[in-house]
Amino acid sequence: MPPQFPTARLLLPSHRLLPLLSPLPSASLSPAPRTLRLPPPQLLHRVARRRPLLRGMASAAAPGSHAAAEAPPVDVGGGGAGAPRRLVLEELPWDHSFVRELPGDPRSDTIPREVLHACYSRVSPSAKVDNPKLVAWSDSVADLLDLDHKEFERPDFPQFFSGATPLVGSLPYAQCYGGHQFGVWAGQLGDGRAIALGEVVNSRGERWELQLKGCGKTPYSRFADGLAVLRSSIREFLCSEAMHGLGIPTTRALCLVETGKSVVRDMFYDGNAKEEPGAIVCRVAPSFLRFGSYQIHASRGKEDIEIVRRLADYTIHHHFPHLENMKKSEGLSFETAIGDSPTIDLTSNKYAGKYLSWAVEVAERTAYLIARWQGVGFTHGVLNTDNMSVLGLTIDYGPFGFLDAFDPSYTPNTTDLPGKRYCFANQPDVGLWNIAQFTGPLSSAELISQDEANYVMERYGTKFMDEYQSIMTKKLGLTKYNKQLISKLLSNMAVDKVDYTNFFRLLSNVNADPGIPENELLVPLKAALLDIGKERKEAWISWVQTYIEESNDVVHSVWKLVESGVPDEERKAAMNSVNPKYILRNYLCQSAIDVAEQGDYEEVRRVLRVMHNPYDEQPGMEKYARLPPAWAYRPGVCMLSCSS
């Protein structure tokens, strides 16, 4: 049954947020039921080229724009003067604000059911184990918890993080949420195979929620077993830490444990189920709240609508505290382009300062995140609203993939193949669509008005374009954004299926010397421009010449790499700091999985070490930057289903 709050037919403009990359018609993002009143087409047309003005509300934009959204959590050092005392597991300072402050399910069984009037259900890990083993761990995540690294050496450590032995002070529960899946409202979803242990508050006052994924059934498991396999768990563990290494906001992973028990999985839903090793990942984040956490309660009408407000208040208090005491006088009006009244008065909404500011920050964090994905070629694969973090973190690593050969229509998800809704090029527009769904419950709970919801979406578009243009400018080592130059580059890369990561890394080797002979222009890029014919070679020479010498923007100002005044070595270092040498290609995951399934975990640990420093050269590790071998293009490696 469709939800009772307005759910969304987002009418995307004819030109989209990323017209250079969009291979698909905008209709591919249209969901099934019902229609939400969204901004008129002329407003969304302006989203990428206007900067709206919000008078007297700078604090709403600042945290989401920079300090709060631009960096993942900072790791503390491993010791030294002033370092916090390292803790053993029994000393972890647990808090349980989510359970304490929000309504819970009165039942404690795991029978699949609709859980009404509650944000969570109390459950305990129930996965069976047999001599569980520690596959891999992250010292930097242990630092976030003030956890002594020696704890990983404890013989009973795998027992704790397989859920077989409860951690002292933990209070496990599964969260209730809903979501749109592939554009269609799916109703209640929830933590079907993830169980939160509670929140650890470290010595710096930071709150970190620990969650075991794959540790057994919950009321939200429906007809599944609540378990996870080693294959998918290795992928999630490695990508969580690889994204952190890239500087992209993400959930983290403390450790990965093999349970010693088998799990039956049908990877491609084709009737060929088989036994695979079971595993459990301990995921770590300030919170695992999603867009769907608010949607589910609004979808149930008046009886649960107050929970939306309670959950919003909880979220702001614990995760957006800089907004908590914002008053309506701090956000009186904003200017936009809606109908005949360009100025929207907020004084009629006594909550506008607090809740509108929060919604704007969520939108801007989301825009920042997706712009960063586009910069490194990351494709999430399943951008349903239940997989969208309200904190702007990359969350739920399933059939993800990084671009190898540049293909804007690439999707790593076999389930997504018919329409490619979640392909690489569509991610910015899907983000906007999902923000529209997020604002629906807030409107239903009368926390923001429809005009304010429209403004939130406008801020998403502006933030995305600002961040994307900044990222692409840095990737090319330019001082100003050059749309024509970047458009032609991406077009050339798509035609010749150029490796996205390796090309940008090699581009820093091009010298800003207009006197380079034509037959030598492509030498620095030779390793990326493989097997191109004469005609395509000429196209690339033309682009490199333009890149070196000049290119004109829409107002005909001339930008020259050679005139930037930045020495080649300095420019190379700057470009290499934003163009990684190493990314977690799917074939690297699969190579680690293959040996881990035989009991050898060293390759998982080696890949983890490489991905912690993806921008460094790392002599001796060059094989991890190689192009995918032929076997990497088979299903199950380059593409996966949503199945675990």
Tokens describing residue 623: 């094989």
The residue count of the chain comes to 644
Please tell me the predicted confidence (pLDDT) of residue 232: 96
- Per-residue model confidence (pLDDT) at position 84: 87
Closest CA to 386 of 289, 520, 526, 267: 289
Q: 16 or 170: which carries more pLDDT confidence?
A: 170
Per-domain boundaries in the chain:
26-71+305-384+421-471, 89-294, 478-565
Mean pLDDT of 393-420: 94
The answer to whether 412 and 400 have CB atoms below 8 angstroms apart is: yes
pTM of the model: 0.87
Pick from 193-202, 398-407, 633-642: least confident = 633-642
SS3 annotation, 171-207: CCEEECCEEEECCEEEEECCCCCEEEEEEEECCCCCE
pLDDT in tens, 326-366: 765 454 445 544 444 445 555 445 546 899 999 999 999 99
pLDDT in tens, 81-106: 468 899 999 999 999 999 999 999 99
Q: Which pLDDT tens digit goes with each residue over 465-515?
A: 999 999 999 999 998 999 999 999 999 999 999 999 999 999 999 998 888
Q: pLDDT band at 116, cuts 50/70/90?
A: very high
Does 386 participate in catalysis according to the annotation? yes
> Rounded to an integer, what distance in angstroms lies between the CA atom of residue 124 and that of residue 108?
9
pLDDT given for residue 64 in this prediction: 34
Confidence (pLDDT) at 267: 72
DSSP letter (8 states) at residue 32: S
pLDDT above 90 for 272 = no
pLDDT band at 77 (very low <50, low <70, confident <90, very high): very low
The pLDDT value recorded for residue 344 is 53
Identify the active-site residue in 146, 304, 386, 496: 386
Per-residue pLDDT reduced to its tens digit, 258-268: 999 999 988 76
CA distance 329 to 237: 45
Confidence grade of residue 641 (pLDDT, cut at 50, 70, 90):
low
Q: What is the mean pLDDT of the chain?
A: 85
Residues 349/448, Cβ–Cβ less than 8 Å: yes
Confidence of residue 43 (pLDDT cuts 50, 70, 90): very low
